[in-house]
Amino acid sequence: MTSPMLDSREPPVGEGALARRCRRSLTFAPIGVFMLLYILVGLGFHHDELDRRVSEAMSRQAHGPLLAFARDATTLGSTTALLLALGVATAVLLTLRQRSAVFRVLATSAACSTAVSLAKVTARRPRPDLRPPVAHASGYAFPSGHAANSVAVYGSILLVVLPWVARRWQRWLLTAVTILPVLAVALSRLVLGVHWLTDVLGGLSLGLALLQVSCWLSGGARPAVPPAQRPSPPRAARGRGRRRSA
């Protein structure tokens, strides 16, 4: 018995069509935004007035329910949560014999983690120095690893799952369910005072850029459908086939 949300036969939306949609919608904006921010940070753009104003405003509001929300939401972008999501997605996709999809998800996630580390050690941007501090985090600030890795992990899982979802409204629902936690993680990093606004924007744009690359590389591919799950030809067609062979 299959889930009403997942069609275990031929996916209604091919990955080739999905890749074309990604190319049209994402274009070069994420790559351009990230590169612009990276260059500005590399040139010494460390404490812009907008960054400082946003951080100070968030710090003043960081108490009560908003602070509790931020502390809970930021765990969705933690290493533990992301590895758990990757483990569950890998197990499900391997059960469906989607080895190429598993490779795409893991490769995109690993590429994002590597890119974040390289950007941090080359940009060497210090974290906000708010007084009093709301939370503490180690390492450099740009880009936000929580934001970037959340986009890469949850987004890549979404892209390989969408072709298997039969109805349009269900695809929109899954997309919203994926986007909202990512936005919550991004907001939490600002509320907790561990990133500047441009750090978070850089992380989001880097994650989106890597999803774009994943879409390009997967263009034209379709999920393999196990023979046992393929729909059998109509009875009339089988009859015509037997008459021709006779």
Residue 116 belongs to domain spanning: 15-221
pLDDT at residue number 235: 53
Residue 59 lies in a domain: yes
Residue 227 lies in a domain: no
pLDDT at residue number 30: 83
Distance CA 167, CA 228 (A): 23
pLDDT at residue number 68: 87
Q: Report which of 87, 78, 71, 89 is spatially closest to residue 155, judged by C-alpha positions.
A: 89
Distance CA 129, CA 120 (A): 17
pLDDT at residue number 219: 64
Residue 33 lies in a domain: yes
pLDDT at residue number 229: 44
Residues with Cβ within 8 Å of 174's Cβ and at least 6 positions away in sequence, in order, are 158, 161, 162, 165
Answer whether 104's CB lies under 8 Å from 120's CB. no
- Angle at CA of residue 23, ends 22 and 28, nearest 5°: 115
Residue 137 lies in a domain: yes
Q: What is the count of structural domains for the chain? A: 1
Residue 21 lies in a domain: yes
Per-residue pLDDT of the chain (246 residues; tens, 9 = 90+): 444 444 444 444 445 555 555 555 555 788 888 988 888 887 776 567 778 888 778 877 777 888 888 888 999 999 999 999 999 999 988 988 888 889 999 999 999 999 999 999 998 888 888 766 677 788 888 999 999 999 999 999 998 888 888 888 888 998 999 999 999 999 999 888 888 899 999 999 999 999 888 887 776 344 444 434 445 555 544 455 444 544
pLDDT at residue number 182: 94
pLDDT at residue number 2: 46
Residue 231 lies in a domain: no
Residue 216 lies in a domain: yes
pLDDT at residue number 81: 94
**Tell me, what DSSP letter sits at residue 192?**
T
Residue 151 lies in a domain: yes
pLDDT at residue number 65: 87
Helix (H) or strand (E) holding 201: helix 197-217
pLDDT at residue number 61: 78
Put residue 64 in one of left, alpha, beta given phi > 0 → left and psi -120 to 50 → alpha: left
